Structure 1
């Protein structure tokens, strides 16, 4: 299904993209930082398979999942003093690793180029901390496509709350009738639903290890180039 079919055979005015798992595969960077953090705390490493299932709700939640060793962690199961130390360790380690092993997914730049040619304005809406969002986009050679980036600490709330999407849309001069969200997880789909805008989902992302096809996105693709 082509993207224009969602907008009366026109391209959207505004498109918002998730970052990790949608534009960029950063799982190896995140795994290295997580495992080095755990090792420094005297714990066994988690490994990439599990870290891929923990990404998507922001760095503090990733760190708590790593300490609990489980996606569905209980706050009571994570010591707050250890969490504070672990978060500081992770942030320090990831600062040096961010973007080192990450790659842009195939099809991403094909779509970005086409949208730009159509005069579409684009933004990134991620739960990643702002200190890492800009540097990762720059290192991946993607920053020039985007007029706005909203990170996990830009506002008081993160996705799946609608505010980050609505804030980005407003900054880009968009409207709900002409704005699209593109993401890889239930977090992105729920955020789009909460904001009242259509959403495209990619199958290759993280989505906490679960399939994404049945979660209600208007279009689900294996490559963003399919939207053209």
Structure 2
């Protein structure tokens, strides 16, 4: 299916994109921050492969998954609030120094953004990443100039898959939901778009907690954003 088929032969007026796993492969830096945290707590490092399966719901959930050693962290005994806060602070400190250092932009991303911008699409980022790290990563990757809006995991009291961050981004961009597209890499993004009533594109190369994205029910699934052109 072509992108224009979702909008009656036209390009969407507003395109909102997830950050980690969609625009940027940030797993090397996130894994470095998590492993530094675990070592500081006297634990064995998790490694990049595991961290790739844990990314997608924000820093706090990432840390909880790392402490549990499992994407389904709620099956395990919860750490005390003091233990959790110590771990979160350690991660923030470590990741703040690594953010963007080893991350890379996925192939096809810049061509897609350049084309969408030239067509006149409003472009925004909607991520569960904390604001301080969101802007830092966009700046480090040289992507900031494409986006008039970046709604992060701590911008509102709720985060994806709640539709409010998506709707908030659309409002800030002066768009409307009827002509909005969400692009992401996980079930979180598909659920966010579904909850907001907008179409979704998902990429196969990102972070979907280790599961296949073709079964998520997205309108379009691609290996590269360049395929949408």
TM over 0.5: yes
Cα displacement (A) at 1:199: 0.5
- Counterpart of 2:50 in structure 1 is 50
- 1:80 — aligned with what? 81
Question: How many pairs align?
Answer: 228
Deviation at 1:4, TM superposition (A): 1.1
1:182 aligns with 2:183: yes
Give the equivalent residue in structure 2 for 1:12.
12
How much is the aligned-residue C-alpha RMSD, in angstroms? Answer: 0.8
Tell me how far apart the structure 2 counterparts of residues 171 and 206 of structure 1 sit (CA, whole Å): 27
Structure 2 residue 217 is the aligned partner of structure 1 residue 216: yes
**Following the alignment from structure 1 to structure 2, what is the Cα–Cα distance between the partners of residues 93 and 2?**
42
Report the Cα offset of residue 135 of structure 1: 1.1
Please name the residue that 1:21 is paired with: 21
Structure 2 CA distance for aligned equivalents of residues 73 and 104 of structure 1: 29
Q: Quick check: 1:119 aligned with 2:120?
A: yes
Can you list the C-alpha shifts for 1:41-88, whole angstroms capped at 9, x where unaligned? 000000011100000000000000000111111274323221110000
SS at match of 2:15: strand
For 1:194, what is the secondary structure of its paired residue? helix
Match of 2:67 in 1: 67
Relative to the length of structure 2, the TM-score reads: 0.98
2:73 alignment partner, SS class: coil
Q: How does 1:143-182 map to 2 (within 5 A)?
A: 143-182=144-183
Unaligned runs of 5+ in 1: none
